[in-house]
Structure 1
Amino acid sequence: MINFWGSWCAPCRVETPEFQDVYAELRDEGVQFLGVDVKDDRQMASAFMTKVDAEYPSMFDPRGEVAMAFRGFPANVVPSTIVLDTEGRVAGVYTGAVTREDLQSVLSSLLQETGG
């Protein structure tokens, strides 16, 4: 799962702790999360991730260059989430906040397909 977020983004501030919960539940099954912090202040972003105890990695993309590399996907909309299967194929694209239930559902389906 790749999530494009910013500490300044209200929906991101809601979904990030929920993403951490899902990550904690599924990481031992091989599910990987990556945050991409776009157009943000590094100190604000770091403080936010520490505050919500987010353990999954997040890279700093202050100018949104990584997001722009995802041509054909709305990664420049924050928040945006792209779910990939084990083969790197897109299994889901979400613009706006993703609920914990929706994320768990798509990831559980992918785990079932791969026998996880």
Structure 2
Amino acid sequence: MIKKLQICAFVIASVIFSQSLWANDNNSVNTIELLEQQLASNKGDVIYVDFWASWCIPCRQSFPWMNNLKAKYQADGLTIISVNLDHSRTLANEFLAEIPADFPVIFDPKGLIARKYKLKGMPSSFVVDRTGQIISVHVGFNQQKKIAYEEEIKTLLQL
């Protein structure tokens, strides 16, 4: 298990910090601004921001959970936003065809948002309270974390 985590951490660091791995895309879309616009337009909600990639095995488990979370708590003021870090949009689209997202996806092939938020692993997530403050940062996803993350979100929704 530790060996797998070490390999995963190496791959994540390589993807996030190596410019040569990002698609050579001349698109001038500023993904940081896209996320900031999403956060601003949903201020007043509790926001769960999820960072993912097609190669991330725990992400395959987190997507159905996030879809369920949205269905359960959207009426209470929960917004989910995801940020894809694949260098290839095709890889991300293949993932989404297999495991659809019922929430907005920002495609960040150059990892601008990942660098700004100093991600430490995949998947990573941020929980933002109704005032727009980041309350917590999560790395990883499993059954125990899923329960803890949902409890944290339910608590913030009640405030």
TM norm structure 1: 0.84
Which amino acid is the alignment partner of residue 89 of structure 1?
Answer: Q
Partner of 1:14: 61
Q: Secondary structure at the match of 2:79?
A: coil
Q: Describe the superposition over 1:41-99 as per-residue Cα deviations: whole angstroms up to 9, x where unpaired.
A: 212212322322311001101121111112xxx42522101001011112221111154
Q: Distance in 2 between matches of 1:78 and 1:63?
A: 16
CA 1:40/1:9 → structure 2, altered by over 3 Å: closer, same or farther?
Answer: farther
Q: Does 1:86 align with 2:130?
A: yes
Larger radius of gyration: 2
Q: Does 1:110 align with 2:156?
A: yes
Q: Structure 1 stretches of 5 or more lacking a match?
A: none
Partner of 2:41: none
| Alignment check: 8 A CA contact 1:68 1:76 kept | no
Percent sequence identity over matched residues?
Answer: 29
Q: Distance in 2 between matches of 1:53 and 1:100?
A: 19
Which amino acid is the alignment partner of residue 62 of structure 1?
Answer: P
Q: Describe the superposition over 1:11-33 as per-residue Cα deviations: whole angstroms up to 9, x where unpaired.
A: 11111111111111111222111
What's the CA shift for 1:8?
Answer: 0.8
Following superposition of structure 1 onto structure 2, how do residues 12-91 of structure 1 map, counting pairs within 5 Å? Answer: 12-70=59-117, 74-91=118-135
| Alignment check: 8 A CA contact 2:129 2:156 kept | yes
